[in-house]
């Protein structure tokens, strides 16, 4: 299939999904994935996406994560870490443990159980945040806690992948130096991004940093005012890609870097003098709003949805395989839902200081499995042949059901959460 025909079919399905979501009052993400699954299994979309669609989908999730980070504030994120460590820790240990137990009982293979547990540990932050956005909760306290906890989970999962994969593949052994190096890279990445956001990005530099050559003279202000500010959207999207690429160098998914890039940008950076703005941006407020409109359109209308449709299209099954593994996937899905929601909710209540309605919303928001889960599955199944076909499809079905559970559970629990919060944290 020609890549442009492939893209045209996906964009058509996006329109169908949006209409269906509006009629049913569910998040479009659920329909994006379901339509991708249906079209791929009907033979309308290819079983394996070509390089163009794969890269387009990768760009889509980067834009989605940047747009979500752009709506959050750095201060809220950093403050939330202190109250999110328990959610991240217990919300990861529980699904890891139950996945290991169930998978080992099914196939009695330690390596398969370890890799399956890693795949089912990291939360799909993009799916959850888009679902919360559809419910009007993307700027709420629970959204910040979920995002912070999920990023911390991703860090832990990446560290474990670096440790476990060589052992499971028979290529290496546990090394204290290797563990320290991986943890150090993760810490360095967040330190670098935080430092850039705190001292280099601001256009009104203070203290010794203002006297540093070049750095002291140029910041986000100069980048946003190129050609009178007409290219502000290009500037910040370029920033998202650059920080995403930096994240890749540190071993992270580029979407994590894109979120951090959006996180360290502030609305005040668009508060520019009138004579530096283009005619199409007559006020600083309009400059920010117009740029945000462009970013949101790219992320949630025509680039970002490609990622979710392509994600659903990865599930290709024949009837015999489906019948054989469906009971395994059902047991694993139920087990993860019970342990994930209960562990994250209890942690949010007793280590994060949230009330029970908000704690349960956090538990539901931690159910999704996407980016990092599929990276781990790809490493274990395609690159190292640690997983066999039955284990691979079991994990794929489980991830699909968990992803479906996110918007459904958030939509179902939303009225109870809003009623309990009385508008204070909603």
What is the CATH number for 265? 1.20.1530.20
Quick check: pTM over 0.75?
no
Enumerate residues 6+ apart whose C-beta is below 8 A from 239.
223, 261, 265
How many separate domains does the chain show? 1
**Cα–Cα distance for residue pair 57/251, rounded to 1 Å:** 19
At 325 the pLDDT is 94
Q: Examine residue 152 and state whether it is found in any structural domain, yes or no.
A: yes
> Which residue range forms the structural domain that includes residue 54?
3-421
Q: Examine residue 28 and state whether it is found in any structural domain, yes or no.
A: yes
Contact assessment for residue 137 and residue 148, using Cβ atoms and an 8 Å cutoff: no
pLDDT tens sequence across 180-194? 776 677 778 878 877
Alpha helices in 298-388 (DSSP H): 304-312, 319-350, 356-365, 371-378
**Cα–Cα distance for residue pair 306/424, rounded to 1 Å:** 35
**Cα–Cα distance for residue pair 10/82, rounded to 1 Å:** 41
At 8 the pLDDT is 95
Backbone phi, psi, residue 41, to 5°: -75, -20
At 425 the pLDDT is 46
Enumerate residues 6+ apart whose C-beta is below 8 A from 47.
40, 316
Angle at the Cα of 232 (from 229 to 236), degrees rounded to 5?
155
Backbone phi, psi, residue 214, to 5°: 70, -55
Please, is 333 exposed, middle or buried when counting C-beta atoms within 10 Å of its C-beta (0-12, 13-18, 19+)? Answer: buried
At 62 the pLDDT is 87
Q: Examine residue 426 and state whether it is found in any structural domain, yes or no.
A: no
Residues of the chain with pLDDT under 70: 25-26, 72-79, 126, 158, 162, 170-176, 178-179, 182-183, 198-222, 225-229, 271-286, 370-371, 423-426
pLDDT tens sequence across 314-359? 878 778 888 999 999 999 999 999 999 999 999 999 988 889 999 9
**Cα–Cα distance for residue pair 346/348, rounded to 1 Å:** 5
**Cα–Cα distance for residue pair 277/270, rounded to 1 Å:** 10
At 282 the pLDDT is 46
> Phi-psi bin for 172: left (phi > 0), alpha (psi -120 to 50), beta?
beta
**Cα–Cα distance for residue pair 146/34, rounded to 1 Å:** 24
Q: For residue 40, which of 21, 53, 28 has the smallest C-alpha distance? A: 53
**Cα–Cα distance for residue pair 11/305, rounded to 1 Å:** 8
Contact assessment for residue 222 and residue 212, using Cβ atoms and an 8 Å cutoff: no
Instruction: Provide the mean pLDDT of the chain.
Output: 81
Q: Examine residue 376 and state whether it is found in any structural domain, yes or no.
A: yes
Can you give 160-227 as a three-state secondary structure string? Answer: HHHHHHHHHCCCCCCCHHHHHHHHHHHHHHHHHHHHHHHHHCCCCCCHHHHHCCCCCCCCHHHHHCHH
At 156 the pLDDT is 76
């Amino acid at each position: 299939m020609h890549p442009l025909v492939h893209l045209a079919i996906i964009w058509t399905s996006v329109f169908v999904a949006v209409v269906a979501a509006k009629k049913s009052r569910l998040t479009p993400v659920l329909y994006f994935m379901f339509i991708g699954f249906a079209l791929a299994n009907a033979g309308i979309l290819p079983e394996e996406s070509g390089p163009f669609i794969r890269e387009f989908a990768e760009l889509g999730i980067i834009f989605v994560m940047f747009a979500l980070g752009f709506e959050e504030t750095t201060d809220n994120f950093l403050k939330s870490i202190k109250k999110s460590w328990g959610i991240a820790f217990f919300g990861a240990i529980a699904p890891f443990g139950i996945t290991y137990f169930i998978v080992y009982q099914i196939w009695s293979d330690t390596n398969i159980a370890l890799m399956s547990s890693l795949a089912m540990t990291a939360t799909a932050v993009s799916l959850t945040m888009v679902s919360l956005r559809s419910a009007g909760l993307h700027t709420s306290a629970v959204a910040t806690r979920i995002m912070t906890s999920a990023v911390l989970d991703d860090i832990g999962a990446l560290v474990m992948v670096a440790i476990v994969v060589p052992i499971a593949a028979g290529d290496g052994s546990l090394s204290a130096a290797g563990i320290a190096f991986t943890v150090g890279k993760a810490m360095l990445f967040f330190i670098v991004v935080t430092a850039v956001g705190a001292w280099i990005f601001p256009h009104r530099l203070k203290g010794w940093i203002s006297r540093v050559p070049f750095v002291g003279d140029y910041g986000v202000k100069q980048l946003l005012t190129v050609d009178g500010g007409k290219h502000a959207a290009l500037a910040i999207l370029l920033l998202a890609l650059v920080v995403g690429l930096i994240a890749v160098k540190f071993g992270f998914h580029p979407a994590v870097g894109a979120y951090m890039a959006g996180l360290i940008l502030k609305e005040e950076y668009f508060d520019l003098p009138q004579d530096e703005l283009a005619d199409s941006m007559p006020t600083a407020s309009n400059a920010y709003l117009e740029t945000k409109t462009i970013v949101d359109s790219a992320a949630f209308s025509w680039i970002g949805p490609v990622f979710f449709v392509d994600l659903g299209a990865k599930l290709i099954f024949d009837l015999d395989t489906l019948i054989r593994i469906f009971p395994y996937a059902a047991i694993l899905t139920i087990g993860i839902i019970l342990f994930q929601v209960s562990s994250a909710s209890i942690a949010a209540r007793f280590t994060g200081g949230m009330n029970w309605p908000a704690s349960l919303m956090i538990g539901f928001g931690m159910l999704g499995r996407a980016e990092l889960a599929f990276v781990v599955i790809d490493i274990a199944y395609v690159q190292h042949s640690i997983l066999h076909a039955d284990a691979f499809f079991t994990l794929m079905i489980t991830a699909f059901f968990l992803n479906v559970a996110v918007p459904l559970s958030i939509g179902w629990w939303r009225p109870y959460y809003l009623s309990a919060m009385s508008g204070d944290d909603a």
